[in-house]
Structure 1
Amino acid sequence: MNAAPVAPAVFEFLDKTHQDIMAQLVLLSPLVDAIESEGLNAANREKVRRILHYFNTEARQHHLDEEKHIFPALLNSQDEAIVHTTQRLTQDHGWLEENWIQIAPSLDAAANGNLWFDTQELRHAIEVFEALYLDHIMLEESIAYPEAKQRLQAFDGAGMGREMAQRRAKTKAQRPAPKA
């Protein structure tokens, strides 16, 4: 039996995650506007919980997927530009995590009904986070993913997909879901 190629299933999943990340990013700035104008009502607190949960779980898992399964093939390239791009993408993950660590406490406070944070500082941190994520995703989709698809074309994607799913299931079991 032939192994299923990586490209279709794994890259469709990674592309779908990028779409989900973009959808979450679009919610952040309007949420700060809503908090400023409406306060921390139940609806705004629930929106914050969902965004916080997404970036604390799925977005982090996505970065791990790339670093574990996609980037190694690119780092082994003889093409210096591909290696440099991959190193930059890895560094971006670190910057995104740093930005998120700056944003998350304010969102956690908001989810719990506390408005101790400065909304203007939060807004600025979100703008930086959004810009970095958009640039990062564009670079992955225009350079890294096409190159990785070629390099991993004949690779068995079943094991890679299984590992991604098992890690998410384990993480989900360890972390409580946001309150309804």
Structure 2
Amino acid sequence: MKFPSPAASFDDPLGLLRDCHQRMEGFCETLERLQVHVRAHGVDDEARAAIARIQAYFNHAALHHHADEEADLLPLLHLRAVTHEAQMAVTGWAARIDTDHRALAASWAKLRDELTALTDGHRTGPSESAAFVAMTRAHYRFEDESVFPLASTLLTADDRVALGQSMARRRRAGLAENV
């Protein structure tokens, strides 16, 4: 029997970012199953609940995750990348992450509207879903395979503490805004 690994905490900010990617994968799988479910059962209570969970995650948690990377992780990596190769890699990653985040935000805006329309009975299924899922998967796989391994070697213990604290502050501020 395999038990899930415990969730990372703000003491392990890179682990926490990886855990966010695992949650994103779960929501991607839910979006894929949602298409099939809606065709077979319509927009029932189960579909509405799945849509609500997807929207809650991508309207809030995913935005914090992107800010964690853009406002905190990448600047730390720029600071710590002392070799020319590392500097070039981080600069390229920053450009790709910015482009990806913008494309994901645009795709999510369309998909969010489609999901809302679906719950209101105006559509048979979200057409943006496949594009959003593909972009999301390509993005987090790139970070997991390229960015995070180098970040693990470049970031100091103090950097990790600062990153974790900033991530925690962002979420506390987000909670206060949503009250």
Deviation track 1:4-59 (CA, whole Å, cap 9, x = no partner) reads xxx97111111111111111111002112212221221221111101110111111
With the length of structure 1 as denominator, give the TM-score of the two structures. 0.81
- Supply the distance in 2 between the matched residues of 1:44 and 1:136 (Cα, whole angstroms): 26
Q: Percent identity between the aligned chains?
A: 26
RMSD: 2.1
- Supply the distance in 2 between the matched residues of 1:129 and 1:159 (Cα, whole angstroms): 31
Partner amino acid for 1:21? M
Gaps of 5+ in 2: 1-9
Are the aligned partners of 1:109 and 1:116 in contact in 2 as well (CA < 8 Å)? yes
Which of 84, 101, 113 aligns to 1:105? It is 113
Are the aligned partners of 2:12 and 2:160 in contact in 1 as well (CA < 8 Å)? yes
User: Which residue number corresponds to residue 59 of structure 2?
Assistant: 56
Gaps of 5+ in 1: 1-6
With the length of structure 2 as denominator, give the TM-score of the two structures. 0.82
Q: Which runs of 4+ in 1 moved over 2 A?
A: 73-82, 153-160, 172-176
Deviation at 1:156, TM superposition (A): 3.8
User: Which residue number corresponds to residue 157 of structure 1?
Assistant: 160
Which of 93, 117, 123 aligns to 1:117? It is 123
User: Which residue number corresponds to residue 91 of structure 2?
Assistant: 83
Q: How many residues align?
A: 165
Which of 19, 24, 27 aligns to 2:27? It is 24
Which of the pair has the greater relative contact order for Cα pairs under 8 Å at 6+ separation? 1
Partner amino acid for 1:102? K
Are the aligned partners of 2:39 and 2:124 in contact in 1 as well (CA < 8 Å)? no
